[in-house]
């Protein structure tokens, strides 16, 4: 008997007990499936007929599948659109939604009918995914996207993706039915700092190739420009902007975005931004006729920076032409997207908002690799948004864990199951070692304390064992030792895996650290065994020293220049549950040993020679990196608001001799707004002079008296008498 499934394919596994139902391999989850659960062998050859109504890239996708095209093949494939007379009998089955499709699979062949060309392409992708394990399922699928525009924005601060990574991303988007890639890396100078200037020929050629690959994958390639840092509201700069867009248009690009995020001053005026976008709409978009609606990233791009009566949002809502899209990150910079928040912003912008979701981006927690499940957004908000793009990590391959699920979420929101989607994403990314990747990913989910307050529930599966192990429960400690062994094995398997070298290269620093973290956990568990079995002082003391050495090794790994680069500040993992549990167990065991033996071993295993304290919330959680003779603070990406008398302090665990110091807050007058003090060994605070080397120098330098001072703390205070709004581009101490 034929069965009809709506919204979720979770039941499909029960229909084919001998094998996994093939539709369950499909990402995103289709909306409506009719199936009897009958499986058949996938064809090794077929007669593929692609009707003229579909774009050339549909035929290319079929050709790239590697299935032999043979006139006498018994399996026939026909692909077209709802307007084709030859497919008229299927027309009523095709969803009346842009990019929707109908797919029918029988033992004799398959038919794909798209509402449009992209819908036909997506139907083909569904068919190819079903064949991923060498079988097909007899079924009919009616499918369509919930959100019109779905994809990613390369909008992070840090090392931009390589050309190879971008091409691979576009291939990935096509397979997973994402139709948007927004090119806006903050560190591309021709996107931001030198936005008026044309790209050099070689870089322009690479962008042209990216756009062509995007077209081949059914993806809208958006090129974004960021003029807000130094724009002048003049006719000359209006023309500079249009001229730059015309140059990108000549490369074949037909979708454009204008960014005004993370700025202050003249560029942040809503009325001027609206007037500029309207001008571009009139003289560029409407002139060409084949350009997509403009996309704006505003300066007030989240609710925490705005207000119910925000004049800025009012200027955009009332001033922008109808059809210009406006981006939004949610209630804060990094936040899950909720219905109430969507209704709030839509009412002010007088249009559906285009979501810029800041996950799994890690440019504000650069010591983290985010591989956990993608969850937390409301499931009933598809009708409130015009688009949804994820801002990923600078690690392109690793970001696919989350992007796979973003594709799933935005396509069929009500059916989205984040746990199932995560499992499928891991298998899709690394099929041969999916279980090892899962084990490793469990320890790489939480972002740790950060200025945005965005956290993830890392280690949820071992929550109870961690709680009990921290209290010394014998069974839980035994389980934690077993989990530690599994983590070591998973890291070894991934380090030798050759299936996806680009992924393993990204993960390598964290894989190396994972082995040390797990060995520390094993050692702490062994300390309990030694104490319980009365092995005596030498054995326990050796394990104690080993555990502390491993903690020092973790710190050394995080600060090893050979493993790090300018945009990576460490390699933290397992910090929400696993390491706190092992640290608590360590302290419990050492206290017990000290009582029993009369020893005075140090109870803490932590090794952290420097700490940050700050009354500025955006700065309080920034990571510190100590490499060689330098101590660096990770930059912050947003504009920092310093209240009057607010401070930023670095404390030292032991007295530290200074050689120099400098910082860059993006303003050549910052030296006069701050007081720098150092706390000497005596406990007294001493002022250190600050200066710029020139009238246009943004870097703040210290006067010579800092050299040679031995200090236990460094404190910077806003003494301007008012609120300051500055960047936090660098903060460096030489030792």
- Per-residue pLDDT, 567: 65
Question: Which phi and psi (to 5°) does residue 294 adopt?
Answer: -65, 150
The domain boundary, picked from 83, 110, 143, lies at 143
Here the tokens at position 546 are 């080993």
Please tell me whether residues 228 and 360 are part of one structural domain: yes
Please tell me whether residues 51 and 188 are part of one structural domain: no
- Per-residue pLDDT, 318: 97
Q: 238-289, pLDDT tens digit by residue?
A: 999 999 999 999 999 999 999 999 887 788 899 999 999 999 999 999 999 9
pLDDT at 6 over 60: no
Please tell me whether residues 206 and 224 are part of one structural domain: yes
Please tell me whether residues 322 and 205 are part of one structural domain: yes
The span from the CA of 385 to the CA of 722, in Å, is 38
The three-point CA angle 338-268-719 to 5° equals 100
Mean pLDDT of 482-491: 98
Please tell me whether residues 275 and 355 are part of one structural domain: yes
Cis peptide before 134 (omega within 30 of 0): no
The residue assigned the tokens 């090892």 is 436
Please tell me whether residues 317 and 350 are part of one structural domain: yes
Mean pLDDT of 509-527: 98
The residue segments making up the domain with residue 84 are 3-143
The three-point CA angle 468-445-148 to 5° equals 140
Please tell me whether residues 623 and 568 are part of one structural domain: no
The residue assigned the tokens 């994820």 is 390
Q: 335-376, pLDDT tens digit by residue?
A: 999 999 999 999 999 999 999 999 999 998 989 999 999 999
Please tell me whether residues 337 and 400 are part of one structural domain: yes
Please tell me whether residues 116 and 9 are part of one structural domain: yes
| Choice among 176-185, 521-530, 597-606 with the minimum mean pLDDT | 597-606
| Choice among 23-27, 130-134, 413-417, 639-643 with the minimum mean pLDDT | 639-643
Residue in 673, 627, 678, 628 with CA at minimum distance from that of residue 652: 678
Here the tokens at position 467 are 């709680």
Is 262 designated active site? Answer: yes
| Chain mean pLDDT for the chain | 93
What separation, in Å, do the N-terminal and C-terminal C-alpha atoms of the chain show?
76
Residue 716 included in any domain: yes
Q: 399-411, pLDDT tens digit by residue?
A: 999 999 999 999 9
DSSP 284: I
Here the tokens at position 68 are 């032999």
Q: Which residue of the set 146, 262, 367, 465 is catalytic?
A: 262
Residue 477 included in any domain: yes
Please tell me whether residues 241 and 275 are part of one structural domain: yes
What's the Rg (C-alpha) of the chain?
A: 28
Q: Decide: residue 654, CB within 10 A, 0-12 exposed, 13-18 middle, 19+ buried.
A: exposed
- Per-residue pLDDT, 488: 98
Q: What CATH number does residue 662 fall under?
A: 2.60.120.260
The domain boundary, picked from 597, 628, 644, lies at 597
Residue 535 included in any domain: yes
Count of structural domains, the chain = 4
Here the tokens at position 261 are 């995020």
Q: 154-203, pLDDT tens digit by residue?
A: 999 888 999 999 999 999 999 999 999 999 998 889 998 899 999 999 99
Helix (H) or strand (E) holding 255: strand 255-259
Please tell me whether residues 509 and 555 are part of one structural domain: yes
């Amino acid at each position: 008997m034929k069965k009809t499934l709506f919204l979720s394919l979770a039941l499909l596994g029960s229909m084919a007990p001998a094998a996994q139902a093939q539709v369950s391999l499909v990402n995103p989850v289709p909306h409506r499936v009719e199936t009897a659960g009958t499986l058949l062998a996938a064809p090794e050859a077929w007669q593929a007929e692609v009707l003229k109504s579909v774009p050339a890239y549909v035929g290319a996708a079929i050709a790239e599948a590697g299935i032999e095209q043979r006139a006498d093949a018994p399996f026939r494939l026909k692909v077209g659109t709802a307007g084709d007379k030859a497919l008229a009998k299927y027309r009523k089955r095709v969803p009346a939604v842009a990019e929707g499709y109908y797919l029918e699979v029988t033992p004799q062949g398959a038919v794909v009918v798209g509402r449009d060309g992209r819908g036909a392409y997506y139907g083909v992708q569904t068919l190819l995914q079903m064949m991923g394990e060498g079988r097909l399922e007899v079924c009919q699928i009616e499918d369509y996207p919930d959100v019109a525009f779905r994809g990613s924005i390369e909008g992070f601060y840090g090392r931009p993706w390589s050309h190879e990574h971008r091409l691979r991303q576009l291939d990935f988007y096509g397979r997973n039915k994402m139709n948007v890639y927004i090119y806006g890396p903050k560190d591309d100078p021709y996107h931001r700092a030198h936005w008026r200037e044309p790209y050099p020929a070689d870089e322009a050629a690479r962008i042209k190739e990216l756009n062509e690959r995007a077209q081949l994958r059914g993806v809208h390639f958006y090129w974004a420009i960021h003029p807000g840092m130094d724009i002048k509201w003049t006719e000359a700069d209006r023309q500079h902007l249009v001229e730059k867009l015309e140059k990108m248009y000549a490369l074949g690009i037909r979708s454009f975005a204008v960014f005004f995020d993370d700025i202050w001053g003249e560029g942040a005026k809503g009325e001027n931004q609206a007037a500029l976008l309207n001008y571009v709409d009139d003289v560029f978009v409407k002139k060409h006729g084949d350009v997509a609606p403009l996309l704006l990233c505003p300066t007030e791009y989240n609710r925490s920076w705005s207000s119910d009566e925000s004049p800025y949002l009012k200027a955009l809502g009332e001033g922008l032409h109808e059809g210009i899209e406006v981006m939004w990150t949610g209630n804060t910079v990094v936040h899950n997207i909720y219905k109430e928040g969507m209704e709030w912003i839509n009412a002010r912008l007088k249009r559906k908002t285009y979501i810029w979701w800041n996950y799994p981006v890690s440019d504000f927690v650069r010591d983290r690799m985010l591989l956990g499940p993608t969850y937390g957004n409301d499931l009933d908000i598809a009708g409130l948004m015009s688009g949804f793009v994820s801002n990923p990590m600078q690690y392109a391959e690793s970001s696919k864990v989350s992007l796979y699920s973003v594709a799933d979420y935005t396509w069929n929101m009500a059916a989205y199951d984040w746990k199932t989607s995560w499992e499928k994403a891991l298998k899709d990314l690394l099929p041969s070692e999916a279980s090892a990747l899962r084990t490793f990913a469990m320890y790489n989910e939480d972002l740790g304390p950060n200025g945005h307050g965005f956290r993830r529930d890392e280690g949820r599966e071992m929550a109870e064992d961690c709680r009990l192990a921290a209290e010394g429960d014998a069974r839980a400690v035994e389980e934690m030792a077993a989990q530690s062994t599994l983590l070591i094995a998973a890291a070894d398997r991934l380090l030798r895996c050759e299936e996806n070298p680009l992924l393993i290269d990204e993960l390598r620093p964290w894989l190396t650290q994972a082995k040390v973290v797990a060995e520390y956990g094993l050692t702490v568990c062994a300390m309990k065994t030694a104490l319980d079995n009365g092995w005596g002082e030498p054995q326990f003391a050796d394990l104690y020293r080993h555990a502390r050495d491993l903690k020092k090794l973790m710190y050394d790994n995080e600060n090893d220049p050979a493993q790090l680069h300018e945009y990576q500040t460490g390699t933290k993992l397992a910090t929400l549950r696993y390491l706190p549990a092992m640290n608590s167990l360590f302290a419990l065991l050492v206290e017990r040993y000290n009582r029993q033996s009369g020893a005075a071993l140090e109870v803490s295993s932590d090794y952290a020679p420097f700490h940050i304290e700050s009354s500025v919330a955006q700065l309080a959680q920034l990571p510190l990196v100590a490499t060689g003779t330098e101590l660096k603070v990770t930059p912050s990406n947003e504009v920092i608001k310093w209240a009057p008398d607010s401070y930023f302090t670095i404390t030292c665990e032991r007295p530290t001799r200074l050689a120099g110091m400098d910082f860059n807050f993006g303003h050549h007058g910052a030296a006069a707004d701050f007081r720098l003090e150092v706390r000497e060994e005596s406990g007294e605070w001493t002022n250190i002079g600050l200066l710029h080397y020139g009238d246009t120098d943004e870097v703040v330098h210290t006067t010579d008296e800092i050299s040679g001072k031995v200090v236990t703390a460094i404190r910077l205070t806003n003494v301007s008498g008012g609120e300051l709004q500055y960047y936090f581009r660098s903060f460096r101490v030489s030792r």
